[in-house]
Structure formats: structure tokens, C-alpha cells
């Protein structure tokens, strides 16, 4: 079994979910008492949140690059990052590594394409929804057009992610807001909805709106990592 190196801490809630899901997925395939071989390098979330909201991307890139290299030195065979948003700096923090990096967009894009969908709504942090790094990869690699909520909705979703979900708070009001946004985007023509922040699946999931196809980036990323670890 190959070791999975995790750039974690953004947030600790998502990192814990990744760890749990990786172990569950490996056990489901191998049975017995088998679990994943994982190395986690977890950052201070305050630093990550400040970097995103204050546009200190270069600083984040340098910070993550050092931690990615440390995972390689520690014996990781493959690298994953638990944050859709921090993938903006993937070209920086993967530069010079000799181990492969599994980009979070790729398993989700492949799953959407396999279903024949041509467009999808992206939910995530304001930086991710208003930025281009995720949208371009979906479009260029998978032919998927990305739509996003309007600026006001982006502000609310971003606040819920950083002030609530990343702190382990999951309220009925916030869940209702997200589900209403999903339904509205679907009614406006989105064929599918990407849960493009790794905390969002902790709040809502496919069972909440069975008629709207949702793609959980955490779950799909985990399966891709386990595929690599066990191949």
C-alpha cells in the first residue's frame, strides 16, 4: 500500500473527514482491520484564512511548498490537498516534487463528464467561486462549463464556511440556505452542483435533495487517492 501525504489543516474539520473517509474506503476494499497509510502535515487554519481573505497567495504558496516537501521527505508516495481553495497555489507547492499530486478537480471532472453533463454550478468559498483556477481546469480538461451564485450569495456562503463549518458548527439555518441555493441553481439550468469546498459535504449531501445531482469533491478525491494507493 502506498502512503498518502495530506496537506491538511484548511480546515481541521475537512482534514479529519478526509482521514476518516480514507480509512473507511481502504477497509471497504481490503476488509479485515485494514486502514490507509497516511501522513498528515496540518497547517494553522488562521494563517490559511488570513491568506485567502487578505490575498496573500504568494505567502501561502511558499508555506505550503515547505510542507509538501516535508511530506515527500517523510515518505509520502502521493500528495493531496484537502482544500479546493488552496489549489490555486498547486503549481507553486508541487514544483520540484518527485511524487505525484492528485488534483481535486480531476476525479470530480471525470465523474461529471462520465454522466454526460455539460455544465455544473460550483459552490465553495468566495475566493473559489469568484476565481478562475478551478473553473478553467473543469473547462479545459473536461469540457464542463461552470456557473456560480451571485456576489451576495457568495458572501453568505463564504461566511458560513469560515465562521461556522470550519469551526465545527452546523446549523439548520445554514443548511437550509445552502439547499435553497442548490435548488435555485438547478432551476436556473445547472445540470449538476459541485460541492466545491471540502466542508460543504459536512453540511449537505445528495440525500438532502435527491433530484439534484451533487458531486462531493471530498468523496471523489478520497476514492482517487485510494485507487492510487492500492493499484
- Per residue in 182-215, pLDDT (tens digit) is 999 999 999 999 999 999 999 999 999 999 999 9
Mutual angle of helices 105-114 and 133-142, in 10-degree steps: 40
Q: What is the DSSP string of 203-221?
A: T--GGGSTTS-EEEHHHHH
The pLDDT value recorded for residue 35 is 98
- Percent of the chain residues past pLDDT 70, beyond the cut: 100
Under DSSP, the state recorded for 89 is G
- Edge-first strand order for the sheet with 119-123 is 145-147, 119-123, 193-195, 214-216
Q: How would residue 46 be classed by pLDDT, with cut points 50, 70 and 90?
A: very high
Q: So what's the architecture of 4-103+220-230 in CATH?
A: 3-Layer(aba) Sandwich (3.40)
Using CA atoms, how far residue 160 sits from 23, 61, 157, in Å, is 28, 25, 5
User: Could you tell me which residues come within 8 angstroms of residue 16 by beta carbon, excluding any fewer than 6 positions away?
Assistant: none
**What percent of the chain is predicted at pLDDT more than 90?**
100
**Do 223 and 22 meet the contact criterion of CB atoms below 8 Å apart?**
no
Measure the CA–CA gap between 222 and 111, rounded to whole angstroms: 13
Please give the CATH topology (third level) of the domain spanning 105-217: Rossmann fold (3.40.50)
CATH 3.40.50.1860 in the chain is located at: 4-103+220-230, 105-217
**Is the entire prediction scored with pTM above 0.75?**
yes
Amino acid at each position: 500500500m502506498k502512503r498518502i501525504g495530506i496537506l491538511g489543516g484548511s480546515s481541521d474539520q475537512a482534514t479529519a473527514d478526509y482521514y476518516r473517509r480514507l480509512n473507511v474506503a481502504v477497509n471497504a476494499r481490503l476488509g479485515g482491520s485494514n486502514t490507509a497509510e497516511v501522513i498528515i502535515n496540518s497547517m494553522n487554519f488562521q494563517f490559511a484564512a488570513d491568506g485567502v481573505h487578505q490575498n496573500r497567495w504568494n505567502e501561502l504558496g511558499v508555506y505550503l511548498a515547505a510542507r509538501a516537501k516535508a511530506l515527500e521527505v517523510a515518505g509520502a508516495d502521493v500528495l493531496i490537498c484537502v482544500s479546493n481553495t488552496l489549489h490555486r497555489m498547486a503549481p507553486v507547492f508541487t514544483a520540484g516534487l518527485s511524487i505525484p499530486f492528485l488534483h481535486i478537480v480531476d476525479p470530480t471532472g471525470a465523474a461529471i463528464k462520465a454522466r454526460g453533463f455539460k455544465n455544473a454550478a460550483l459552490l465553495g468559498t468566495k475566493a473559489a467561486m469568484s476565481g478562475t483556477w478551478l473553473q478553467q481546469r473543469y473547462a479545459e480538461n473536461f469540457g464542463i462549463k461552470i456557473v456560480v451564485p451571485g456576489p451576495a450569495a457568495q458572501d453568505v456562503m463564504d461566511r458560513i464556511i469560515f465562521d461556522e463549518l470550519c469551526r465545527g458548527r452546523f446549523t439548520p439555518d445554514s443548511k437550509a440556505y445552502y439547499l435553497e441555493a442548490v435548488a435555485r441553481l438547478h432551476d436556473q439550468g445547472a445540470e449538476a452542483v459541485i460541492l466545491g469546498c471540502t466542508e460543504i459535504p459536512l453540511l449537505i449531501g445528495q440525500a438532502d435533495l435527491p433530484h439534484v445531482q451533487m458531486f462531493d469533491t471530498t468523496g471523489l478525491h478520497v476514492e482517487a487517492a485510494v485507487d492510487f494507493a492500492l493499484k
